[in-house]
């Protein structure tokens, strides 16, 4: 999901516009549906690696565009992210700058939901665990030889691959 962030070349240089003060971005795209919808507002701050945990929503540059996805896992050299509406995540090398979404507001109005509260962090961690299972199941099914075996695996793994969406 791409945030419609700072226009022009600044968008691809989050190190120039992210800080400890929240920056509000408007969300565009469907990869994070149903958690994020077109037009939702995300408040983003500069994130340090040690502050990030599985389940956090992160902003990073991917393929020349800003993306907002859920962090699933980290290593010393890379991180695994996934869109809530996607079946499989992607590993990326640690960028120079990552943004952390600290609050979300639906559409053009309404109050922002603090994602740093203990309840929100617990929900995010639970969702990350389910998404990680979905990611592993999708990778397993894709690695099988032959379309027939992949189709059987997808059918057997359907409950994992299509878990219920997160609460609103």
pLDDT tens, residue by residue, 65-123: 889 999 999 998 999 999 988 888 999 998 878 899 999 998 767 788 999 999 999 99
Locate tokens 């990073």: which residue?
Answer: 60
| pLDDT of res. 7 | 47
In degrees, rounded to 5, the angle at the alpha carbon of residue 31 between the alpha carbons of residues 82 and 48 is 45
Segment 6-40, tens digit of pLDDT:
545 556 677 677 888 998 888 888 888 888 888 89
Return the axis-axis angle of helices 147-156 and 118-143, rounded to nearest 10°: 150
Segment 124-165, tens digit of pLDDT:
999 999 999 999 999 999 999 999 999 999 899 888 877 655
What predicted TM-score, i.e. pTM, was given to this entire model?
Answer: 0.85
- Full set of structural domains in the chain with CATH: 2-161 (2.10.109.10)
Residues across the chain: 168
């Amino acid at each position: 999901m791409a945030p419609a962030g700072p226009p022009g070349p600044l968008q691809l240089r989050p190190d120039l516009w992210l800080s400890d003060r929240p920056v509000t971005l408007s969300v565009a795209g469907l990869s994070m549906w149903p958690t994020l919808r077109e037009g939702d507002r995300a408040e983003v701050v500069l994130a340090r690696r040690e502050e990030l945990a599985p389940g956090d929503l992160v902003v990073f540059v991917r393929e020349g565009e800003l993306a907002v996805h859920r962090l699933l896992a980290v290593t010393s050299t890379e991180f695994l992210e996934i869109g809530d509406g996607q079946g499989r995540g992607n590993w990326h090398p640690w960028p120079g700058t990552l943004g952390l979404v600290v609050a979300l507001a639906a559409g053009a109005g309404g109050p922002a939901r603090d994602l740093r509260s203990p309840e929100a962090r617990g929900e995010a961690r639970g969702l990350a665990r389910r998404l990680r299972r979905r990611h592993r199941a999708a990778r397993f099914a894709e690695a099988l030889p032959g379309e027939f075996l992949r189709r059987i695996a997808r059918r057997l793994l359907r409950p994992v691959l299509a878990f219920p969406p997160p609460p609103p």
